């Protein structure tokens, strides 16, 4: 099988997901070649031997959409993949809209990595995004939901159930560490780490405001990430330390230094940072939004709080001990091993590819027999 992955921006959670999938597929017996097509703007460098990387010129502006569609389809025509695996809604538009004007196409697997109509947006936008996803689903063979919450939400907007499956995210068990970090953490305090884009979806603005207006003497907050989508720069309080983007090849060196990981997202299709935390035996303190309650069981591998009642976060941070956090981290690691390894994710994806190819072969044999 020749596989082409098509993405918009490859950064943050998408970068982690793609990295896991590519490393598996490039060595899989069923796959003959692996290609990735992504924007040359806001995308990470993913140096994976054996994977062929291609780029199109695109930045999220209306004037760039049509040129992106044309470039993407020039690449598909040239590469002739058996499977096109699409990641994110914009990439889904670039690939699938073209095939409304062409009879022949490769098999298409689509993953939104968080449905647009499940974001915190107006009802009219939700309706438009839902209608557009239903339309584009006509040119899709398999629709991958990254959580049960995403699947349930998709059914409210009548995304075809017969094409929809759930494959939870997963990450490799190996720890990615660099040299010892020169972080002078105050071990007498609870050291929290945020990892992600500094965008509204991730709720980082709420977290910054919380620490600015309600500083806690027993807690320090550090943040890994930068602004990606939202153009406005957020005011970072003096009592918060930012660490910029961190290369995925050393990210676990940071996780191991902290007592807990905090995820204050407004919406989340799948909290990939949560399973990175569990892999590193770190507890998760998360909002009760999106898929996060599927990943975090209150009092088992972390704590949940309501973004509209941040006094709940204050109660958690002022009553929990470091020993409590260590216990929750160990329990989270057991959950990760049971449910969220990259092996489970990748074997299921390749099974989907094989089913589509076999289905195509059976159809071709049926047509040949009919012609005779």
* pLDDT one-digit tens code per residue, 121-144: 999 999 999 999 999 999 999 999
Q: Is 23 a member of any domain?
A: yes
DSSP E strand boundaries for 138-279: 142-145, 164-166, 190-195, 219-224, 240-244, 260-263
Token pair, residue 306, equals 């309501």
201 in the same domain as 155 = no
109 in the same domain as 212 = no
Bridge partners, residue 109, by sequence:
85, 142
- The number of distinct structural domains making up the chain is 2
355 in the same domain as 292 = no
- The reported pLDDT for the residue numbered 50 is 94
Q: Is 210 a member of any domain?
A: yes
68 in the same domain as 29 = yes
323 in the same domain as 223 = yes
226 in the same domain as 135 = no
DSSP-based helix, strand, coil % in the chain, nearest 5: 45, 20, 35
253 in the same domain as 167 = no
215 in the same domain as 162 = no
- The reported pLDDT for the residue numbered 256 is 93
247 in the same domain as 126 = no
CATH number at residue 289: 3.40.50.2000
Distance CA 36, CA 306 (A): 38
- The reported pLDDT for the residue numbered 42 is 74
pLDDT digits (tens, 9 = 90+) for 224-267: 988 765 555 578 898 999 998 888 788 999 999 999 999 999 98
Residue 348 burial (10 A CB sphere; 0-12, 13-18, 19+) = middle
Residue 132 burial (10 A CB sphere; 0-12, 13-18, 19+) = middle
Global pTM reads 0.81
The whole domain housing 278 covers 190-339
Q: Is 45 a member of any domain?
A: yes
273 in the same domain as 134 = no
**Residue ranges of the chain with pLDDT lower than 70?**
180, 228-233, 360-372
221 in the same domain as 107 = no
- The reported pLDDT for the residue numbered 120 is 85
Q: Is 182 a member of any domain?
A: no
Q: Is 179 a member of any domain?
A: no
87 in the same domain as 9 = yes
């Amino acid at each position: 099988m020749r596989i082409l992955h098509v993405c918009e921006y490859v950064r943050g959670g998408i970068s982690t997901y793609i990295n896991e999938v590519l490393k598996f597929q490039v060595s899989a017996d069923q796959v003959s070649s692996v290609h990735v097509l992504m924007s040359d703007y806001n995308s990470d460098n993913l140096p994976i031997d054996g994977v062929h990387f291609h780029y199109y010129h695109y930045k999220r502006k209306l004037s760039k959409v049509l040129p992106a569609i044309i470039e993407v389809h020039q690449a598909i025509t040239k590469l002739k993949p058996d499977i096109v695996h699409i990641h994110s809604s914009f990439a889904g538009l670039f690939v699938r809209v073209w095939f409304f004007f062409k009879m022949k196409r490769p098999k298409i697997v689509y993953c939104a990595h968080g449905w647009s109509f499940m974001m915190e947006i107006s009802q009219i936008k939700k309706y438009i995004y839902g209608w557009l996803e239903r339309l584009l689903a006509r040119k899709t063979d398999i629709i991958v939901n990254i959580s049960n919450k995403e699947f349930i939400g998709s059914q409210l907007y009548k995304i075809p159930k017969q094409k929809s499956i759930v494959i939870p995210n997963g990450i490799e068990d190996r720890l990615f560490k660099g040299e010892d970090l020169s972080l002078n953490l105050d071990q007498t305090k609870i050291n929290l780490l945020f990892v992600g884009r500094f965008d509204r979806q991730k709720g980082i603005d709420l977290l910054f405001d919380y620490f600015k207006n309600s500083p806690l003497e027993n807690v320090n907050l550090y943040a890994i990430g930068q602004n990606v989508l939202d153009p406005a720069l957020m005011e970072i309080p003096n009592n918060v330390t930012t660490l910029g983007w961190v290369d995925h090849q050393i990210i676990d060196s940071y996780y191991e230094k902290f007592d807990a990981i905090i995820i204050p997202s407004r919406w989340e299709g799948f909290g990939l940072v949560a399973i990175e935390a569990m892999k590193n035996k770190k507890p998760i303190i998360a909002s009760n939004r999106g898929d996060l309650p599927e990943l975090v069981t209150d009092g088992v591998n972390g704590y949940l709080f309501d973004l509209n009642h941040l006094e709940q976060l204050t109660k958690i941070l002022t009553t929990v001990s470091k020993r409590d956090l260590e216990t929750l981290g160990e329990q989270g690691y057991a959950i990760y091993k049971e449910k969220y390894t990259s092996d489970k994710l990748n074997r299921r994806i390749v099974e989907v590819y094989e089913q589509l190819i076999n289905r195509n072969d059976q159809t071709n044999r049926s047509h040949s027999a009919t012609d005779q």
